A and B are shown apart, each in its own frame.
Chain A
Amino acid sequence: MLKLNNIEVVYLNVVRVLHGISLTVEDGSVVALLGANGAGKTTTLKAISGLLKVEEGDVTDGSIEWEGRRIDHSSAQEIGKLGIVQALEGRRVFGHLTTEENLLVGAHNRKERHIIHQDLEMVYHYFPRLKALRHNIAGYLSGGEQQMLVTGRAMMSAPKLMMLDEPSLGLAPMLVEEIYDIIKRFNDERHTSVLLVEQNVRIALNIAHSGYVMENGRVVLDGSADFLRNNEDVKEFYMGLSAVGVKKSYRAVKHYKRRKRWL
């Protein structure tokens, strides 16, 4: 179980961006961390994974506990070895390496060769497309393939907690659905907890068990996925729906059809 108790994060000793975040990820669950740009979602993930230290950020208050022990003072590698992995925002593949080499870097801290081989097969099982592309240079893969690759690379460390930062960003809806199905299956079959950062609230709540909504470095709302889906504020601000909105968009569709006939 991952537990954040009221953490504050300060960058460069002056810029405070998180003002007391608390959240819990139960073992085996999928938790969505939602919010607009600049809310502090990525910072929260980096605080957990230890990457914050690389960027001159500090957890100045509160604590982060993983399986009952504090990790907020551990290095990124130590935290990685404890089974927490973060896939960074923006599909950061190693552009000059092949698909398979990218995956192997994900298993850097795994010792035994045959296990690494099994993990590769496991990733190829979830992402058959990556297997076909295993010898291709990652920099030339399509956006969707790159997202699959960074997700697969995170899987390669055999994590107990996988944190994904906006996996849907800039991808076509069909692809997003495909990738989300795989994440869901991975969670179901391997009982890996998933902490999912998204701006695409609808798709995230489709697979999440619970979620938190962040604004300006604070959690403003949290609850089960059902509760959040039906919450009026979430609907209005994050899903772009409101009572009137539905009608409007329906009319927009009709309008579009009519125009099409004239063309």
Chain B
Amino acid sequence: MAELLQYVVTGIAVGMVYALIALGFALIWKSSSVANLALGQLVLISSWFTYGMLVQVGLPYWIGLLLTIVFAVFLGWSIERFTLRPLIAQPILSLITVTLGVGYFLEGLVSFIWPTSVAALPHLFPKEPVHIGPAVVSQEYLWAAGISLALFGMLSLFFKYHKMGIAMRATADDQLAVQACGVPVTSVFSMSWMFACVVAAVGGVLISLIGGITYGLVETGLKSFSVVILGGLDSFIGCMVAGPIIGLAENLGGGYLTPIIGPGIKDIIPFIIIIIVMVIKPFGLFGEERIERI
């Protein structure tokens, strides 16, 4: 019972971080129909960057985290500005391929700067575990869930009420019409990449605080793909619902199936879910319906 509850709580918490990272994917996909295949590497590099700032440079936590956000914004801006913008109006496949290239580039960069493959961030949250009923959960999980939820709330408000947020949603609907309204779509694309990199960085730091910094972070990005696919690619709510589902499935499957099937099952579960979803519901749980009116 204690074990089950523990799997459930940590699964949901980690799933919410996946959801946060997935949000960044959905954002870019919505505004520009580009699938960002560098998601995992964005998570990886910003976690290492945080490590560099906090451990190697030895900055205080809040400055280090602030710099990580600045770094993420800059990363998002430069990826859009220098690799995607020159390709505007090219076939969408070239754009997607470019993000794949960006991903490999970032991964190479990481192994060049930080050849050690494992590291840990210093503790940010209090070390005492929390008791939830019979289960004992370390605080990182709860903070991770809370921060993800808070960021999701802030982004939702931004998209609902802020002028730029509304313009970004409008761009998702009609790129030409939005330009006829004087909205610079290039800044919309740029903005969506900056947001995506920031949520990837925050997600990366949260996951690293739980499980350390490893190349497994790239897989965290991949798991966020399964979240996006389950949630329906362009739906923010879909991400927030699908994230905990994936996290739960992964944890429960990992916890109870590993003794039977063997280790490794935990990492496969999200992808099994992707395949099942693709077969049953190709547009995901919350995939946006096309509004057709004649």
Contact = CB atoms under 8 A, between A and B. Distances in A.
Interface of A: 49, 51, 54-56, 76-77, 80-81, 85-88, 92-97, 101-102, 104-106, 108-109, 137, 139-141, 143, 146, 150, 153, 157
Interface residues of B, number: 22
B182 A81 contact: yes
21 contacts: A51-B176, A77-B182, A81-B182, A85-B180, A85-B181, A92-B174, A92-B177, A95-B173, A95-B174, A96-B172, A96-B173, A97-B166, A101-B170, A105-B178, A105-B183, A108-B163, A108-B167, A108-B181, A108-B183, A150-B177, A157-B182
B241 to A, nearest CB: 19
Contacts of A150: 177
B89 A56 contact: yes
B176 A96 contact: no
B280 interface: no
Given A81-B182, A92-B174, A92-B177, A105 B166 contact: yes
Mostly, the B contact residues are helix
Given A56-B89, A96-B169, A105-B166, A49 B293 contact: no
Interface of B: 89, 163, 166-167, 169-170, 172-174, 176-184, 288, 291, 293-294
A88 B181 CA distance: 10
Contacts of B169: 94, 96-97, 101
Contacts, number: 80
A99 B178 CA distance: 15
Mostly, the A contact residues are helix
Given A80-B182, A85-B181, A97-B169, 8 more contacts: A51-B179, A81-B182, A85-B182, A87-B180, A96-B172, A102-B170, A105-B183, A150-B177
B79 to A, nearest CB: 22
